[in-house]
Structure 1
Amino acid sequence: MSEVPGLRERKKIRTRQALIAAALELFMEKGYEQTTVSEIAAAADVSTRTFFSYFASKEDVIFYNTRDGIDRVLRVVAEPRPDDRAIDLLTRAVTSVFSELVLDGQLQREIGPVNYLVMTVPSLRARSLLLLFEGQRELAEALHRACPEELSLVEASAAVGAVIGGGKLAAFVSMSNGASPEEMLDAGRQATEFALSALRAASRVS
């Protein structure tokens, strides 16, 4: 059973969520570049100093859950079940990401604005691509460590790139064509399932 956060921890969580909500609202209303940290802090009813105790910059607000997502999939790959193959670990890792989105109402509300900003603000798009590359690199290395006799590092990199890259690309393409956040997520899910099916078929042949 997970431990219930104490009063102090709950207050910190509420403050962090208030900062994220205020930042996204201001970014969508005023524009990312035009919004200041001071305005975000004021909208969340905290000081600028408090903002910087949670985030190093306003850019970090946009990518606040990226590290958590990477760590989640790495934990899945680091804990193989008996008789697991690489495709099983990769499937479970990807499924854990979509499961978290289903369970986390805050993430569902924020995914639309976050992805819109990433698509329209060049500095955020560049940071997003860097984080995507780094996350895929970490996952590929973890998958190779878990199944060294099944996949070389090159093969693990190709598998991760196909699944994660394909899902991200499908989501962004659908959104650029006017899809809703729900439709965007569904496009990402379909693309990852397609890539996983192809990899699963290839593993049966090899």
Structure 2
Amino acid sequence: MEIEETAAPGRRERKKRETRAALTAAALRLALEKGPDNVTVEEISEAADVSVRTFFNYFSHKEHAILGRDPEHLASALERIRTAPADQSPLTTMWLIVHAVLRDLISEGELSRRGELIMGAPNLLYHLMLSSLDDERQMSAALAERIGDPLRAMLVVSTAGAACRVAMELHKQTPDRPPAELVDQAFQLLAQGIDPEFAPGPDVQKGS
């Protein structure tokens, strides 16, 4: 009896992951075939063999399904930030978070196609921007609590996000360069300082 009770949550979680994966796969396939604006929640649900009610248990709207939004990514990121070793630099923590998400996205095999779709759809870009900003706010707050410096925390999180976006854009232009490699180069540049020669002139007034 105890074994059954222990195993049940594992089966439930596995079923949830499978349902979410089926919905995101169906949403992406239909969006690629018909265009994201022409896809309905009903069509996505039918393609994934679930009810519309079940769809809304996982996504608030179709755009998040097409984007492949997974709340587990944010939850894992926040947990990693809060439990990071005291001697781990904030940028290193963000690098680990990014690579964990990249592994999931690459394993799905749809990274490039989803990226191309998003770049060509203003509505998807808008929803991606909104959700990314919300993620960054939560991660910045968690990092600020850990390091005690809100400004540095916000800069680290936001520049890490910018590095990822730039890496994905470059990967689209140069598909032979792996996303993880581009991300590593971007983070290395951030760590070294993107402009060590920065020196505002004496005629530049602070706050102007």
Cα distance in 2, alignment partners of residues 65 and 189 from structure 1: 23
C-alpha displacement at 1:25, in angstroms?
A: 0.8
Are 1:142 and 2:142 counterparts? yes
The change in CA–CA distance for 1:24 and 1:50 in structure 2 (over 3 A counts) is same
Match of 1:204 in 2: none
Query: CA RMSD for the aligned pairs?
Result: 2.8
For residue 64 of structure 2, the aligned residue among 55, 60, 66 is: 60
Q: Are the equivalent residues in 1 in contact too, given 2:167–2:183 (CA < 8 A)?
A: yes
Are 1:187 and 2:188 counterparts? no
Q: Are the equivalent residues in 2 in contact too, given 1:118–1:124 (CA < 8 A)?
A: yes
Q: Are the equivalent residues in 1 in contact too, given 2:171–2:179 (CA < 8 A)?
A: yes
Cα distance in 2, alignment partners of residues 106 and 174 from structure 1: 13
Q: Are the equivalent residues in 1 in contact too, given 2:167–2:186 (CA < 8 A)?
A: yes
Are 1:123 and 2:148 counterparts? no
Alignment of structure 1 residues 3-18 onto 2, 5 Å:
5-18=9-22
Cα distance in 1, alignment partners of residues 155 and 14 from structure 2: 41
Match of 1:23 in 2: 27
Cα distance in 2, alignment partners of residues 134 and 198 from structure 1: 26
Are 1:160 and 2:168 counterparts? no
Cα distance in 2, alignment partners of residues 124 and 62 from structure 1: 8
Match of 1:77 in 2: 81
Alignment of structure 1 residues 13-52 onto 2, 5 Å:
13-52=17-56
Cα distance in 2, alignment partners of residues 145 and 77 from structure 1: 10
C-alpha displacement at 1:50, in angstroms?
A: 2.8
Q: Are the equivalent residues in 1 in contact too, given 2:136–2:158 (CA < 8 A)?
A: yes
Match of 1:198 in 2: 193
C-alpha displacement at 1:144, in angstroms?
A: 2.2
The change in CA–CA distance for 1:109 and 1:195 in structure 2 (over 3 A counts) is same
Cα distance in 1, alignment partners of residues 120 and 59 from structure 2: 22
Number of aligned pairs?
Answer: 189
C-alpha displacement at 1:39, in angstroms?
A: 1.5
Rg comparison, structure with higher value: 2
Identity %: 31
Per the normalisation by structure 1, the TM-score is 0.75
Residue aligned with 1:33, SS:
helix
The one-letter code matched in structure 2 to 1:186 is E
| Residues 15-54 of structure 1, C-alpha deviations (whole Å, 9 max, x = no match) | 2221211111111111111112222122222233332333
Cα distance in 1, alignment partners of residues 174 and 85 from structure 2: 40
C-alpha displacement at 1:6, in angstroms?
A: 4.1
